[in-house]
Chains A and B, each alone.
Chain A
């Protein structure tokens, strides 16, 4: 067993874990954060995407011990003060899901994408979500959701920039 200390969705946690424990297992089984789901066995599907020190990773492809000293944000940590994150709102508004299984990963990856590129083109959205599989929607409404989130300034501050640009 190895002792790890980390921050998950703003809370400090410490645990003894086996080195072989995957980060996604730790989040689900030790912390009860079942919002992060496991969708495949091959690291293809992206459903388990979380942010590790601010960037998106597939949490089935990281060991829990590797997150020692890090900050992890899951889908459960996105809403603030009872208000959904703008990307969560956009997925609801644009019906960016059917069964919803891929949605936690889709939203976490979309937030990451918009952080680096606040106003992505449709192609950039599709490339940015390449590592997330959806078996229901054909991606159409997911792409619309991300576009809608971008237009609402989901990346933080970009709404002001866009409003200024639009006034010209």
Chain B
């Protein structure tokens, strides 16, 4: 129940935080919202010597209009993202995923960037961020760089963020007017999804002109269901057409087998949830 001992720093600027990371290297761990990290420390699955808390860095919070995208500060809490009008208008898929993420107390404390940097394949934000083609703004000792969503998620709990770098913001390209739905299948309330599907769809006159689909917990990273997206383009938003396209959901997927279900079960779930998510996103 009690974490192992560690030293603690709470810098007030990103530059100070990066300098601390450079100094302490492997021995340091970044603390964002802490809703995954603190349980890990309590169970002593990890025992960093130095914890660098980003909660006092005000510049990392907030959501702004950034032209063709919205910019979400990495330390913006889920509950803020959930109620933000810019997110709802331009990235409805993020809104849909966040509103049922974990529970209210966790959403008050947990952060958008922290969850993405943690890169749990069962986390609710990776698939929507991937589907929307988010760009990850990362700062290190040599300045800032931007990583595209396709290159951000590397493996289980592993991202493109370097050891001496911090995720500072996520740019989400505007998908204004697109319908969206996040369909997740959980065993009990507020658990991680066994499988979830993030779908956002542009439809005109009952025809799907463009679709973007992300999958949660169907591999070691969030995945993009590109075969489904291709199959949906130009199709009517009907149960029959969407069902046929959703059959492609498992192409390229490598679902895990665990106590909640084996790979075959997850593959079946993915096709069912994809149909539901796309139909709901299309308003059908």
Residues of A within 8 A of B (CB): 2, 18-20, 22, 25, 38, 41-44, 46, 49, 55-58, 60-63, 65-66, 109, 112-113, 128, 130-132
Contact = CB atoms under 8 A, between A and B. Distances in A.
Q: How large is the interface on B (under 10, 10 to 19, 20 to 34, 35 or more residues)?
A: 20 to 34
B284 interface: no
B108 A56 contact: yes
Contacts of A62: 34, 38, 109
A49 B104 CA distance: 11
A97 B171 CA distance: 46
Nearest to B108: A55
Contacts, number: 82
Interface string B51-70: 10101000000000000000
Interface stretch (B2-10, B133-141, B199-207): B2-10
Interface in B5-41: 5-8, 10, 31, 34-35, 38-39, 41
20 contacts: A19-B5, A20-B2, A20-B5, A20-B41, A22-B2, A38-B1, A41-B42, A46-B105, A56-B104, A56-B105, A56-B108, A60-B42, A63-B38, A65-B10, A65-B53, A66-B10, A66-B55, A109-B105, A130-B103, A131-B105
A53 to B, nearest CB: 10
Contacts of B51: 19
B190 A60 contact: no
Given A20-B5, A62-B34, A57 B10 contact: no
A65 B34 contact: no
B125 to A, nearest CB: 18
A19 B8 contact: yes
